[in-house]
Structures are given as structure tokens and as C-alpha cells.
């Protein structure tokens, strides 16, 4: 994971441009943009699917609740046309196409602008991040997805179609809640996968503390740093919705935003806990290495200490002095063996006592 690459997807290309300049910053996509419109009331529902902005502009939807989902934000002309039609502020449009925003909520009077990050587990075990923008008006909701990792809102769409739960009977703010809730639910899935990988890495570290498991661990520490960066601002943004400071949020919906706020706090808690656990795992790794060095050291010392005196002794009797009484003794050789065995045993018992063996 390249630390630089995640943040600055060429953000610097915008340097010097006036505010409101629409420049797409993010992963380039060739897919056509999909505009899907769902309008509904407790007892009616209509759905449309467009690929061209003109089709969309020509087919206004007059249901009490209108949800326009745009999949793909790389077509800046489409976003501009849509923004002009509904007179959204240029800064809002700029933030939609710039996919390196941090999660936030902004009150523009007639509508709320919300930016969130959707997390999805990837096949390799990590996770990818996609920016979702919301424009929540009195009777409409626009959602903008990057469209890289597939649509996240199918379950909500199904609930609308099948009129499951109370979603058809509630306003557009409840719809926003349902979608945000779906996004935050995805965080739990990512964290579950993360937790499972942590267990694997920990076992690895305990059994075979080598460089490769260390790199896995360091990689997970980096991921948790990014996760923190993604979830902390979320708390502030959703807390705004929970307080219900805007007229666009009905009292009946507030209790639901409190619920999703609660989930957010739980996500943050878990991220912080994982961070602490990863720090503990690094400590464990380092002390394992220290331990191992110590153990190897002791082995070397024991071997060296046993054989050095013995080698000295045999060296003594390899000398060529003319006058060397012991060499003449009949059982000198066997006596020496006896001495050497005694010395060796002595030292082994000393090391046993010192717990080096």
C-alpha cells in the first residue's frame, strides 16, 4: 500500500483553479454513468433508468419522495448539467467529483450536503473505499456513487419496491437514514474481516515470528490508520443529523439517526480497540525476537564455555617440550579424559543451576 497514493489522487491538478471548478479527482472509469430515479408514496412507486442527462431532464418525476441515484462521477459535464438544473451550489458539485473529501455535512439552507465513505472488503483481505455524496432536500434525495465497487443500495431499493418495513410511509429523510445505515453496516463487515485477519496474524507471530508476519502486522497498522481517518469525522457528521438541527429532518426520524449514530460510535470504539490490540501485537513480536536472541545466545555461551577449556587442555598436551613429565605417565591419557569429563559435567550442572540449559 503506497501511503501517498491513497490520498492525493493528483489533487494538485486543481492548484490555481477558481472555486467551483469541476475537476474529477479519483480513479478513472470508462463505464457509462447510470442515473436511476425512484419516486414513491405509501401506495405508489415509479422507477426510471437513464444513461443520458437529456433523458433525465426530459422525464421529471413528480412523486412525493424522489430518489435520484447517480452511479459514476467522472462525467463532469453530466454533473454540471444536473447541478444547474437543480441550482446546486458550485462548491457542492466540486466536492462531488473530487473523491478525496473527508466525511462531512454542510447545511446549504434549502438542502443538506453529506459526504461519506463506503467501505467494502476486497478479495485480497483488505478493503476499498468509495465516496458517496448525498444532497438531501425537502422532497428529493440525490446520491452520487463512484461506481467502482458495485451498487451498495440494493437492499434499500428492495425494501422500497416490496414496501417492506415502514420506508414507503416515511419521508425523504428516512430514506437518507436507511442508506446511511446501509453504509455504516458495511463498516461492521469490514471490521469483522479485519478482526479475523488479526487473529491469523497473531497466531503467525506467536508460532513463527519472522519478517513476513511482521510485514503483515505493519500493513494492518497502516490500514487501521486509514480506517481511523475515515470513521472519526463520520461521528461528527452523523451527530449533526442526530441533533436534528435542520428543518429538513423530521422529529420522527431523529430516533433513527440516533441509532445510526450509536453504530458509528461502536465502529470507532472497535477501531480504537483494534489499534490497541495491534500495538500489543507489535510488543509481543519484539519481545519474541528478544527472547529468541537471548535463547540463541545462551546456547552459544554454553557450547563455547564447555569446549574452550577442554580445547585448551588438549592443546597443553600437544606441546613439544622436551621435558614434559605428564606425557610419560602410563595412564596420563586416560586421566586427562577423566579430568575433562569431570570439568564438562561440572559446567553443565552450573548452567542447569543458572537455568541456561
Task: Kindly identify the residues of this chain, within the stretch 203-242, that bind its own copies according to CB under 8 A.
Answer: 206, 208, 210-211, 214-215, 218, 221-222, 225-226, 229, 233
**Which of 43, 77, 312, 353 touches its own copies by CB under 8 A?**
312
Residue span binding its own copies (CB under 8 A) among the ranges 50-58, 75-83, 242-250, 259-267: 259-267
Q: Which of residues 81-110 bind its own copies (CB under 8 A)?
A: 89, 91, 100-102, 104, 106, 108
Query: Does residue 265 interact with its own copies by CB under 8 A?
Result: yes
* 69 interacts with its own copies by CB under 8 A: no
Q: For residues 114-143, which are near its own copies according to CB under 8 A? A: none
**What distance in Å separates the CA atoms of residue 73 and residue 57, rounded to the nearest whole number?**
17
- Quick note: the x/- pattern for its own copies over 163-192, rule CB under 8 A, is -xxxx---------xx--xx--xx-xx-xx
Under rule CB under 8 A, residue 327 binds its own copies: yes
Position 342 contacts its own copies (CB under 8 A): no
Find out whether 341 and 313 touch, Cβ atoms under 8 Å.
no
* Cα Rg of the chain, angstroms: 34
Q: Contact between 42 and its own copies (CB under 8 A)? A: no
Question: At which residue does the C-alpha cell 463532469 appear?
Answer: 76
Among 11, 85, 161, 352, binds its own copies (CB under 8 A): 11
Q: Which of 161, 324, 338, 346 binds its own copies (CB under 8 A)?
A: 324
CA proximity to 236, closest of 326, 105, 52, 119: 105
Single out the residue of 23, 162, 7 nearest to residue 79, CA to CA: 23
Alpha-carbon span 44 to 55, nearest angstrom: 22
Neighbours of 63 (CB within 10 A): 16
- Told to check if 17 binds its own copies by CB under 8 A, we report yes
How distant, in Å, are the alpha carbons of 72, 241, 352 from that of 176?
Answer: 19, 10, 71
Answer yes or no whether residue 336 interacts with its own copies by CB under 8 A.
yes
Looking up cell 447510470 gives 34
Nearer to its own copies among residue 51 and residue 317 (C-beta): 317
**Burial annotation 24-41 (CB, 10 A radius, 16+ → b, else e):** bbbeebeeebebbbbbbe
Q: Name residue, grid cell 489499534.
A: 275
CA-CA distance, 156 to 135, in Å (whole number)? Answer: 17
Residue 62 binding its own copies, by CB under 8 A: no
60 binds its own copies (CB under 8 A): no
Residue 25 CB, nearest approach to its own copies (Å): 11
Give CA–CA dist 351/226, Å, rounded: 50
333 binds its own copies (CB under 8 A): yes
Tell me which of 77, 123, 124, 319 binds its own copies, using CB under 8 A. 319
Amino acid at each position: 500500500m503506497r501511503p501517498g497514493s491513497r490520498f492525493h489522487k493528483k489533487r494538485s491538478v486543481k492548484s490555481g483553479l477558481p472555486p467551483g471548478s469541476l475537476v474529477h479527482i479519483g480513479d478513472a472509469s470508462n463505464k457509462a454513468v447510470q442515473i436511476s430515479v425512484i419516486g414513491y408514496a405509501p401506495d405508489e412507486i415509479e422507477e426510471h433508468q437513464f444513461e443520458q442527462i437529456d433523458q433525465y431532464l426530459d422525464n421529471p418525476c413528480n412523486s412525493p419522495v424522489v430518489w435520484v441515484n447517480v452511479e459514476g462521477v467522472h462525467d463532469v459535464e453530466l454533473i454540471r448539467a444536473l447541478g444547474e438544473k437543480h441550482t446546486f451550489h458550485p462548491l457542492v458539485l466540486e466536492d462531488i467529483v473530487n473523491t478525496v473529501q473527508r466525511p462531512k455535512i454542510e447545511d446549504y439552507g434549502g438542502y443538506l450536503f453529506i459526504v461519506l465513505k463506503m467501505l467494502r472488503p476486497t478479495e485480497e483481505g483488505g478493503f476499498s473505499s468509495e465516496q458517496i455524496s448525498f444532497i438531501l432536500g425537502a422532497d428529493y434525495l440525490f446520491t452520487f456513487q463512484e461506481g467502482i465497487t458495485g451498487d451498495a443500495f440494493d437492499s434499500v431499493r428492495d425494501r422500497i419496491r416490496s414496501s417492506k418495513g415502514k420506508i414507503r410511509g416515511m419521508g425523504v429523510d428516512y430514506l437518507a437514514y436507511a442508506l446511511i445505515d446501509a453504509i455504516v453496516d458495511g463498516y461492521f463487515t469490514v471490521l469483522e474481516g479485519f478482526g479475523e485477519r488479526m487473529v491469523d496474524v497473531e497466531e503467525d507471530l506467536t508460532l513463527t515470528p519472522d519478517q513476513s508476519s511482521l510485514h503483515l502486522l505493519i500493513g494492518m497498522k497502516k490500514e487501521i490508520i486509514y480506517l481511523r481517518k475515515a470513521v472519526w469525522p463520520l461521528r461528527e457528521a452523523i451527530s449533526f443529523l442526530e441533533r436534528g438541527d435542520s428543518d429538513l429532518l423530521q422529529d420522527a426520524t431523529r430516533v433513527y439517526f440516533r441509532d445510526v449514530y450509536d453504530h458509528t460510535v461502536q465502529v470507532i470504539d472497535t477501531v480504537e480497540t483494534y489499534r490497541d490490540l495491534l500495538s500489543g501485537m507489535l510488543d509481543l513480536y519484539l519481545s519474541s525476537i528478544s527472547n529468541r536472541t537471548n535463547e540463541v545466545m545462551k546456547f552459544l555461551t554454553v557450547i563455547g564455555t564447555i569446549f574452550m577449556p577442554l580445547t585448551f587442555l588438549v592443546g597443553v598436551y600437544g606441546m613439544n617440550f622436551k621435558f614434559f613429565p605428564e606425557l610419560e605417565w602410563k595412564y596420563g591419557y586416560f586421566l586427562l579424559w577423566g579430568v575433562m569429563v569431570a570439568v564438562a559435567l561440572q559446567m553443565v550442572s552450573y548452567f542447569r543451576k543458572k537455568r541456561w540449559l
